[in-house]
Structure 1
Amino acid sequence: MTPASPLRLTPQREFIKSLMGIGKRLATLPTKEQKTKQLTSELLVLNHKLPARVWLPTAAFDHHVVRVPHTQAVVLNSKDKAPYIIYVEVLECESFETSAIPVRIPETRIRSARSADNLLPECVGITAEQRAGSFSTVPNYDNDDEAWAVDDIGELQVELPEGHTSSSDNISQFSVDSITSTESKEPIFIAAGDIRRRLSENLAHTPTTFRKDPEDPSAVALKEPWQEKVRRIREGSPYGHLPNWRLLSVIVKCGDDLRQELLAFQVLSQLQSIWEQERVPLWIKPYKILVMSSDSGMIEPVLNAVSLHQVRKQSQLSLLDYFLQEHGSYTTEAFLTAQRNFVESCAGYSLICYLLQVKDRHNGNILLDSEGHIIHIDFGFILSSSPRNLGFETSAFKLTSEFVDVMGGLDGDMFNYYKVLMLQGLIAARKHMEKVVQIVEIMQQGSHLPCFHGSSTIRYLKERFHMSLTEEQLQVLVEQMVDGSMRSITTKLYDGFQYFTNGIM
């Protein structure tokens, strides 16, 4: 993202301040239903100030925010706080500094706006003169403070050029041309047996549909495939017809210090790079963290993923049965691919949890994506800290019997593959131990974060790389850690504690 001039940052500061203020106000409301209604109404007000010279800091390209579809935002599952996820419509541009702010298109003008050819903003190469020919009224956004302060910009009058065909006419013409083109080709014959096979495969694994849950409103929203969400929101947006339209998402979190999350992101990114360099097929998903203050920030959402808690509560199935329902029977290519993805990600996060001593590993903090990967989120308790210092979780990592079942059982090839990956990943990581340790040492300097409680944090971290052990001894260590984690009573106790105190299954 190209940095903007300090004199032009006022709208951006107000935009971020508004998002954080919403999160803090939501935390004061007692129920999820009230939080959701408040979130929707506050975002609706926020939309009156868009488009403006504002951007989403977690994005990797220059853009202007044009709209936040308020009805799509949801409050995430949290007992005390009120983190929420929003979807943000933006228009990509060549340069945030030099590109003009996109023209506001009112919601009531969505039909006529889509059929106009000359509605592209300057950030896709349309000049001011060309745009002036299409609008009788164009708001002036040169003054950024004034732009953010505007609550009701008024309707834009769109004038269609003579002879311009509507979008429906274009669609009709396209359909006729397509049919004509298709009919001119040779007929294609499909065997009845192939049709029966495809139908039976589709019926065999109908993906689970999540129900609306007032206590967990995010479940349905997160279950929806990202591409379907993009298509649906784009169809209902007055800006959706523009070729440079993009949809982004972000989690806004208030009441938590995200600096430990940032430390975890840096370590995960480093280990991911190490494993790629050493060609070890471990899979992890570092997600971006943006620290805004000592108690607020933004988090990049993991797309196409729901928590294991949501899976269990919504489907009422075991993890293996859910896999079978989502991906097909044991011998299908889809299931085998998802199973391999699960094993490679499980091995990666097992090592992450061991090296960083990640705690608070209940099923609300472990996601499962549509490809079968598991993804650990929420690294608020790492290294020397644990939730309320209860000391429940004493195993090296979380490895439940349900995880092992998905891997094919204790005697299965994929479970052996999991242990091989653990060994290979630990050998690769210790070859580059200093790269990981340096990140933690830098973050520790002058820090009062709870993860650095005591003077022995770095020493214990180095010990977990086991530099003095041979590879044969490391293999024995991995076997012991896997066996101990599978049989861990404390893991079951902590899951039970979370269920009885927070309702997390």
Structure 2
Amino acid sequence: GIILPSVNVNHINYHQRNRSLDSALQQIPEVDVTPSPEVEVHPGSDDSGIICGSERTESTSTHRSDESLDIEGKDDDGSSADEETVRPTDDRTAGPSEPVTPQPNGPSKGFLHRLFDPKSDRTPIRTLEQSLPPPSQSSKGFLLRLFESKLFDMSMAITYLFNSKEPGVQSYIGNKIFSFLDNEVDFYLPQMVNMYIQMPDVAEVLHPYLVHRCRESVDFSLKCSWLLDAYSSDAALSSKKKSHGTKLKNLILSGELRPRDSEPTRRVSRPSAITSSPTSLTAPSPLKKTHHRSRSDASALLGNKSSSNGTSRVCLGDLNSGRAYDNGCTCFDTCQGKVNDLRGKRTLCSCDAPRLSPELELIKSLINIGKLLATISTKEARTTRLISELTTVNLNLPARVWLPLSTHIPHHIVRIPPHAAAVLNSKDKAPYILYVEAVEVEDLASSPIVSKSMNTLRHTKSEENLAAAHSSYSHLELEEMDAWSQEEDDISQQYLQLNKPVERDSISQLSQESDSKESSIFAAGDIRRRLSESLHDPRPFTHDPEDPSAAALKEPWEEKERRIRECSPYGYLNSWKLLSVIVKCGDDLRQELLASQILTMLQSIWEIERVPLQLHPYRILVLSDDSGLIEPILNTVSLHQIKKHCNLSLYKYFVKEFGAPNSEGFLNAQRNFVRSCAAYCLVSYLIQVKDRHNGNILLNNEGHLIHIDFGFILSTSPRNLGFETSPFKLTPEFVEVMGGPESDMFEYFKILMLQGLVAARKHMDKIIGIVEIMRLGSQLPCFKSGAATVQGLKNRFHLNKTEEQLQLLVDNMVESSIHSLSTMIYDGFQYFTNGIL
């Protein structure tokens, strides 16, 4: 026979999947997403990682929003399952309770008309079923399982929303956003707003969520409108895109997006001091002395109901009226409003009072003060004028207003101590810090306002409010008055009993009733305790007219809070809190906002990876393209102020503040310094932070180094000179605090930098994603290099280097930064031009 040559057999080695992973994936149900036979699709790929159809036809795009949100799936036995909406229904979802109803196919309305019709905040969206092609069952199942898995977070949702070109994927994610917690979504609100303005297809799927949140939250409405205004201001935007963002902003500010009229729902929120504090209720105390008007005068006033309402609306914004932040709403002062408050129910405003106007007027007042201060030459004169202007603002408080940066603690502002405010160091601008007394409330929009305190004499309703109060009861029919139940009568009596004054501590009582003739009695133990605390507390800086903020910022927060509370007429309230904010005018804070997001994300990454680096991100609120609010960092002083007021090196200041070099206090502060210095060195390198003079670097009372003012990042530098060439600021003075270049703590510093860089590059996509979205259509200086800005950021993560190569890179950067000539020259330049040491 014929002998055939041997055949080479290619053996293929298959990768064996982890069984535990398979079993976990099998528990996630697959949904049959076979495309509709009417839609012709072709295999292809529009976008990274998602197999999708060819480009949409004109008719498909036109009728996109009129198609159903439902996905038809089949049960395991082959029977057809009930239709369900794509949006997940979870007890913790922030979405509306009513389901999205499918709309019949037909001529679609114009896109802008559908978006800005306040009656249709739930525009039906195209489903994933109608967009995914049938290349393979596994690819479709993978995409759906990814979207429904626990790993799919808001960061991934924003990235897919930005990168995907498929309307079905965008629509599915638009519904998926309803399932995330509010605070998870709020972090990415700048990205959502920028995509809303720049990407009409994404705007269509984001619009229902934004409108829904604006209906539910006054605070979200304001923040969304401010961002829309800021990001629509770029001159390079087309008139169509500007109109697109402006229309949503105008819809929000028009007041049409109100909560839907429904039965008052019981509040569901965390317990607070307000629920257990009888002194925080607002009904006037029956034991307080009040001024009583004669019956003849009151009767005449009750006859003129129309004048009061008109006067209240006219006064809105008039700081001299005492009611500049009063929108004229009386719904919360009615009998039903009081009963709802006692029963823990929400009172909805039904009188169509402008619910956003009071807060807008407060912000306007603060911004106007900042602009006024910038026209004054000397810092001492600025401080005097600041106190005068805040005193005028105080005449209009308490009111239903709040600090938008601190809404994680729902509160109403009751007073602004004028003499606690201070003007911050700035050559051309006049930023200032103010401290705000507030009372914690259950809900910003529906909680009653604390009554105005007039020391020992509590005033009654004014003439303008008397008739308004009467009008709130005049609509009640006699039958309704007769139907007043015994239960409601008991609640009213209980309300009066709860509002009896509660005994306060002696110091607060003496502060409230300063004209009392009774002698003050202080316990000897209190005096001894305060003297002991004063010996161990850090010594405050003396007041300097040329640097008024130094003494205000150096004072420990607990001491400042105690001092202001003792002098406050509202300090006796158990729900009293002290808050602070920096008001900045004349600067675009959108770059600061982006830097704050990156810092927050890096800190979260390092916590997940268990790298003990310590950043201190602070909140930024953009009000417009040239103004905003900044969260102050408590218990801090700048390195410039340390050198100016103490005349000490940084190491000697550490010894003075924290104790001897071998003491526990010094070693703890040194460790905090090393961890925070390494963290900010990495941040400075990754996003190229410039303008690092000693006025922009702070030190807190625990030894943490904290960088502020991120106005020059990525592609921009002061005067666009690019003078600061070192990777980050690391001076020999910093190394001295660590113990010197041969110390263990200095080696620990370099190890932390390596670990932080390795951890950050593992999650690089999260950081690159938010930067890419904000670059879209932006005219900010930090993006002046265009796509090269993002590419340069990617390159600084060094994905192609091993850990040994990264270690060498870190060592070289540290060495070059310590001996950087440009850092020394720039510090000298700041000293000669701005007096910064």
TM interval, shorter chain, is 0.7 to 0.9
Q: 1:368 to 1:136 in 2, by over 3 A?
A: closer
Report the Cα distance in structure 1 between the residues aligned to 2:467 and 2:774, rounded to whole angstroms.
41
**Is the Cα contact below 8 Å between 1:208 and 1:315 reproduced in 2?**
no
Q: Give the match's secondary structure for 1:8.
A: coil
**Is the Cα contact below 8 Å between 1:363 and 1:504 reproduced in 2?**
yes
Q: 1:170 to 1:403 in 2, by over 3 A?
A: closer
Q: Give the match's secondary structure for 1:40.
A: helix
Q: How do 1:94-113 residues align onto structure 2 when only pairs under 5 Å count? A: 94-106=442-454, 108-109=455-456
Letter in 2 for 1:481: M
Q: Give the match's secondary structure for 2:713.
A: coil
Q: 1:305 to 1:437 in 2, by over 3 A?
A: same
Q: 1:138 to 1:363 in 2, by over 3 A?
A: same
Aligned match of 1:464 in 781, 790, 796? 796
Shift of 1:164: 8.7
Pairing 1:269–2:483 present: no
Match of 1:395 in 2: 726
Shift of 1:215: 1.4
Deviations 1:62-117 (A, max 9, x none): 111110000110000111000000000011111122211110002x43xx8xxxxx
Letter in 1 for 2:594: L
Q: How do 1:109-120 residues align onto structure 2 when only pairs under 5 Å count? A: 109=456
Pairing 1:212–2:426 present: no
Q: How do 1:96-245 residues align onto structure 2 when only pairs under 5 Å count? A: 96-106=444-454, 108-109=455-456, 137-138=460-461, 140=465, 168=506, 207-245=538-576
Aligned match of 1:48 in 386, 389, 395? 395
Deviations 1:156-197 (A, max 9, x none): xxxxx999978549999x999x99xxxxxxxxxxxxxxxxxx
Letter in 1 for 2:820: S
Pairing 1:412–2:709 present: no
Q: Give the match's secondary structure for 2:372.
A: helix
Deviations 1:225-264 (A, max 9, x none): 0000000000000000100000000000000000000000
Match of 1:476 in 2: 808
Q: 1:141 to 1:303 in 2, by over 3 A?
A: farther
Q: 1:390 to 1:141 in 2, by over 3 A?
A: farther
Shift of 1:207: 3.5
Q: Give the match's secondary structure for 1:342.
A: helix
Report the Cα distance in structure 2 between the residues aligned to 1:167 and 1:366, rounded to whole angstroms.
40
**Is the Cα contact below 8 Å between 1:392 and 1:493 reproduced in 2?**
no
Aligned match of 2:580 in 212, 229, 249? 249
Q: Give the match's secondary structure for 2:690.
A: coil
Q: 1:141 to 1:55 in 2, by over 3 A?
A: farther
Q: Give the match's secondary structure for 1:29.
A: coil
Q: 1:233 to 1:170 in 2, by over 3 A?
A: closer
Match of 1:190 in 2: none
Aligned match of 1:3 in 205, 209, 217? 217
Pairing 1:431–2:645 present: no
Match of 2:370 in 1: 23
Shift of 1:209: 3.3
Q: 1:85 to 1:136 in 2, by over 3 A?
A: closer
Match of 1:278 in 2: 609
Deviations 1:447-490 (A, max 9, x none): 00000011310111001000000000000000000000000000
**Is the Cα contact below 8 Å between 1:73 and 1:85 reproduced in 2?**
yes
Report the Cα distance in structure 2 between the residues aligned to 1:411 and 1:168, rounded to whole angstroms.
56
Q: 1:137 to 1:392 in 2, by over 3 A?
A: same
Match of 1:126 in 2: none
Shift of 1:286: 0.6
Report the Cα distance in structure 2 between the residues aligned to 1:141 and 1:344, rounded to whole angstroms.
61
Q: State percent identity of aligned pairs.
A: 61
Q: Which range is displaced more, 2-11 or 75-84?
A: 2-11
Pairing 1:85–2:433 present: yes
Pairing 1:69–2:417 present: yes
Report the Cα distance in structure 2 between the residues aligned to 1:169 and 1:357, rounded to whole angstroms.
51
Letter in 1 for 2:217: P
Report the Cα distance in structure 2 between the residues aligned to 1:475 and 1:382, rounded to whole angstroms.
25
Report the Cα distance in structure 1 between the residues aligned to 2:379 and 2:545, rounded to whole angstroms.
7
**Is the Cα contact below 8 Å between 2:400 and 2:445 reproduced in 1?**
no
Match of 2:775 in 1: 444
Shift of 1:391: 2.1
Deviations 1:99-158 (A, max 9, x none): 11110002x43xx8xxxxxxxxxxxxxxxxxxxxxx6725659989xxxxxxxxxxxxxx
Match of 1:195 in 2: none
Letter in 1 for 2:822: T
Report the Cα distance in structure 2 between the residues aligned to 1:168 and 1:340, rounded to whole angstroms.
42
Q: 1:165 to 1:309 in 2, by over 3 A?
A: closer
**Is the Cα contact below 8 Å between 1:284 and 1:345 reproduced in 2?**
yes
Aligned match of 1:386 in 717, 733, 741? 717
**Is the Cα contact below 8 Å between 1:289 and 1:297 reproduced in 2?**
yes
TM-score (norm. length: structure 1): 0.83
Deviations 1:356-410 (A, max 9, x none): 0000000000000000001100000000000012222100000001100000000
Q: 1:328 to 1:165 in 2, by over 3 A?
A: closer
Match of 1:336 in 2: 667
TM-score (norm. length: structure 2): 0.51
Q: Give the match's secondary structure for 1:321.
A: helix
Q: Give the match's secondary structure for 2:570.
A: coil
Q: Give the match's secondary structure for 2:370.
A: helix
Report the Cα distance in structure 2 between the residues aligned to 1:467 and 1:141, rounded to whole angstroms.
71
Shift of 1:213: 1.4
Structure 2: 5+ residue runs without aligned partners? 1-182, 184-215, 222-254, 256-353, 470-498, 510-518, 527-531
**Is the Cα contact below 8 Å between 1:267 and 1:436 reproduced in 2?**
yes
**Is the Cα contact below 8 Å between 1:206 and 1:326 reproduced in 2?**
no
Deviations 1:254-288 (A, max 9, x none): 00000000000111111111100000000001100
**Is the Cα contact below 8 Å between 2:359 and 2:400 reproduced in 1?**
yes
Report the Cα distance in structure 1 between the residues aligned to 2:508 and 2:821, rounded to whole angstroms.
65
Deviations 1:282-335 (A, max 9, x none): 000110000000000000000001110001101100000000000000111110
Match of 1:353 in 2: 684
Report the Cα distance in structure 1 between the residues aligned to 2:628 and 2:501, rounded to whole angstroms.
51
Report the Cα distance in structure 2 between the residues aligned to 1:303 and 1:382, rounded to whole angstroms.
24
Shift of 1:10: 1.0
Report the Cα distance in structure 1 between the residues aligned to 2:817 and 2:507, rounded to whole angstroms.
63
Deviations 1:420-452 (A, max 9, x none): 000000000011111111111011011000000
Q: 1:458 to 1:44 in 2, by over 3 A?
A: same
Report the Cα distance in structure 1 between the residues aligned to 2:697 and 2:706, rounded to whole angstroms.
6
